[in-house]
């Protein structure tokens, strides 16, 4: 694998982590000088425990192995291991007995840590220092962490711990406080492209700068992923692929409709946005990647808009030119990016519905979350005398005059669910068939639930959402009340006539239960 072949062997080859490289180099140089002066091991300026945290593929394990070579190297050069002495070669070959790499995801129990504690006291056999590298350390159990604490705080002078994790918040504070902590960052696009260009040149690959940037964007700051993708492109398309081949090999969406969707969101053209989303779904395109491509266009356009310039050839440059010309509000573009980023395709990757909901929320979100407009401010009746909304105001859907009584409670509940679903699909699900509208007053409405859990979820998690949307529907501030009702009283209502129930009856199915 290319990422193994081109794994950095020294600090100078590490990409995008200069803040960590500089600190470790300085410490190693000082420690080497102290060792040559005969300073006792206990006074060595090196830390006894390090904690490397950050996203996957950013160099945590690589840095740990470089550090393991450096602390055992007898010929350090400005803090870099020489990679030529017996210790460096043994670690590079993977047969150094005193470099103990432990996968905490597989060896996460208290017995594994007890075994480690029993062996740590033995002197190194072939290196100057024993180095314990615990990868994915956040996977250790609570008991294992507790067993590790004392050893981690006061290890023998010949031992160094290096803990690596992608989930720092899962590592107990008691462990974090006993380590020198280094936070790894995602590799920026320029540094990644430079490294990929070097590797490609050494391997005999010829790719354009556009291709390198595309690989960098897809890898999302993970250098290991970027090198793997470079190898994938070369294996599939040969050593000299053109840009179209690279996009096809990476599965990237090269569809002009992503630009059209970005334009529709900025223009607040919901009909066009929904049409594009459904067409993309019908064509079998990876909708999640299509959405990410649209996000990238909007992000680039937002950056160029804030800088008030149009960089030709950049993603979103054409859209940026339009935004600059219109003096568009950057908050509008940022809102579209935020809503698209929330779209969740995990449950059904082929469905365009998450994208449609994100588009609707991005465009209607301001109307959904804005304060209610009273009926005197909107057009409430047909005819010449009808009043209209003030110029520039957003229309509010389904506005109901405050003096019009609602007799169809089920219709209100259905409309309430539809509006909540546009804002938050997950929370709105608790309203879908789980309750009845018991009453609607001037200042409050009451929902009845047959199940305690449903009532508690709506009362605690969904209250703000439900009250805001009810306020928009009814045109006046509303407060929600909830209470439990017995199942018999809830079941006396007419059975729901959803499309699934209708389809089942059409196929000859017979309803069972109390409502037949």
Q: Are 133 and 160 contacting, i.e. CB atoms less than 8 angstroms apart? A: no
List the Cα angle 33/36/37 in 5-degree steps. Answer: 90
- Map residue 212 onto helix, strand or coil: helix
Name all domains of the chain by residue range, CATH numbers in brackets: 2-183 (3.40.50.300), 189-250 (1.10.8.60), 257-367 (1.20.272), 409-499 (3.30.300.180)
Indicate if the alpha-carbon torsion angle 169, 170, 171, 172 is positive or negative: positive
Q: Which tens digit of pLDDT belongs to each residue from 442-486?
A: 888 999 888 888 888 888 888 888 888 888 888 788 889 988 887
Q: What is the pairing mode between strands 444-449 and 435-440?
A: antiparallel
Each residue's pLDDT tens digit in the chain (516 positions)? 788 888 888 898 898 899 999 999 998 988 888 888 877 766 677 888 999 999 888 889 999 999 999 999 988 888 889 988 889 988 888 888 889 888 887 877 888 888 888 888 888 888 888 999 999 899 888 888 888 888 888 888 889 999 999 988 889 999 999 899 999 999 888 888 889 999 998 988 888 888 888 888 888 888 998 999 898 888 888 888 888 888 878 776 566 788 889 888 888 889 999 999 999 888 878 888 889 888 888 888 888 778 766 555 556 667 777 777 666 778 888 888 888 988 888 777 888 889 999 999 988 874 444 444 333 333 333 333 333 334 343 333 333 333 434 466 888 888 888 888 777 777 777 887 778 888 888 888 999 888 888 888 888 888 888 888 888 888 788 889 988 887 655 544 444 445 455 556 555 666 665 444
Helix spans in 424-495 (H): 425-428, 452-460, 463-474, 487-491
Q: Rounded to 10 degrees, what is the CA torsion of 377, 378, 382, 386?
A: 20
Alpha-carbon distance 9 to 401, whole Å? Answer: 72
Distance CA 319, CA 402 (A): 42
Query: For position 403, what pLDDT does the model report?
Result: 40
Phi-psi group of 314: left, alpha or beta (phi > 0 → left; psi -120 to 50 → alpha; rest → beta): beta
387 neighbors 399 (Cβ within 8 angstroms): no
Tokens of 223: 């250098």
Q: Residues, the chain, total?
A: 516
Tell me what percent of the chain is helix, strand and coil, each rounded to the nearest 5.
Answer: 55, 10, 35
Query: Mean pLDDT for the chain?
Result: 79
- Could you give the CA distance from residue 57 to residue 17 in angstroms, rounded to a whole number? 12
pLDDT digits (tens, 9 = 90+) for 185-221: 998 888 888 899 999 989 888 888 888 888 888 888 8
pLDDT digits (tens, 9 = 90+) for 98-140: 898 888 878 778 888 888 888 888 888 888 889 999 998 998 8
Please tell me the distance from the alpha carbon of residue 112 to that of residue 314, in angstroms, as a whole number: 52
pTM, rounded to two decimals: 0.60
């Amino acid at each position: 694998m290319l990422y193994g072949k081109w794994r950095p062997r020294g600090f100078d080859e590490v990409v995008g982590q200069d803040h960590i490289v500089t600190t470790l180099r300085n410490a190693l140089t000082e420690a080497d000088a102290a060792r040559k002066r005969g300073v006792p091991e206990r006074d060595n300026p090196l830390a006894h425990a390090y904690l490397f945290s950050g996203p996957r593929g950013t160099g945590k394990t690589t840095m740990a192995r470089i550090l393991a070579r450096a602390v055992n190297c007898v010929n350090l050069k400005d803090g870099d291991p020489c990679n030529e002495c017996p210790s460096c070669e043994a670690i590079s070959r993977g047969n150094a007995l005193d470099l103990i790499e432990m996968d905490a995801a597989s060896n996460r129990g208290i017995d594994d840590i007890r075994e480690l504690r029993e062996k740590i006291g033995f002197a190194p056999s072939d290196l100057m220092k024993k180095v314990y590298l615990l990868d994915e350390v956040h996977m250790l159990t609570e008991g294992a962490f507790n067993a590790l604490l004392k050893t981690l705080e006061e290890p023998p002078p010949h031992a160094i711990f290096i803990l690596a994790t992608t989930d720092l918040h899962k590592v107990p504070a008691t462990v974090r406080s006993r380590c020198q902590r280094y936070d790894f960052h995602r590799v920026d696009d320029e540094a990644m492209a430079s490294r990929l260009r070097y590797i490609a040149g050494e391997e005999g690959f010829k790719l354009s700068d556009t291709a390198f940037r595309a690989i960098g964007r897809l890898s999302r700051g993970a250098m290991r992923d970027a090198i793997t993708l470079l190898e994938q492109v070369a294996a599939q398309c040969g050593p000299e692929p053109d840009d179209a081949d690279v996009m096809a090999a990476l599965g990237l969406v090269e569809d002009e409709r992503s630009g059209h969707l970005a334009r529709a969101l900025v223009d607040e053209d919901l009909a066009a946005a929904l049409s594009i989303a459904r067409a993309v779904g019908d064509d079998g395109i990876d909708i999640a990647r299509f959405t990410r491509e649209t996000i990238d266009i909007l992000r680039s356009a937002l950056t160029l808009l804030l800088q008030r310039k149009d960089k030709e050839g950049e993603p979103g440059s054409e859209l940026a030119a339009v935004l600059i010309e219109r003096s568009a509000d950057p908050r509008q573009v940022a809102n579209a990016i935020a809503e698209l980023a929330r779209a969740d395709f995990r449950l059904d990757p082929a469905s365009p519905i998450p994208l449609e909901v994100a588009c609707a929320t991005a465009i209607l979100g301001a109307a959904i979350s804005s304060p209610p407009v009273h009926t005197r401010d909107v057009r409430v009746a047909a005819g010449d005398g009808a009043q209209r909304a003030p110029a520039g105001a957003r229309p509010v859907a389904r506005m109901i005059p405050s003096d019009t009584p609602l007799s169809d409670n089920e219709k209100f509940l259905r409309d309430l669910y539809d509006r909540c679903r546009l804002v938050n699909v997950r929370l709105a699900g608790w309203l879908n068939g789980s309750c009845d509208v018991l009453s609607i007053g001037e200042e409050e409405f009451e929902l009845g639930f047959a199940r305690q859990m449903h009532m508690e979820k709506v009362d605690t998690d969904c209250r703000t959402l439900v009250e805001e949307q009810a306020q928009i529907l009814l045109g006046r501030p509303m407060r929600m009340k909830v209470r439990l009702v017995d199942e018999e009283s809830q079941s006396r209502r007419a059975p729901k006539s959803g499309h699934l129930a209708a389809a089942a009856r059409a196929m000859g199915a017979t309803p069972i239960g109390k409502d037949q």
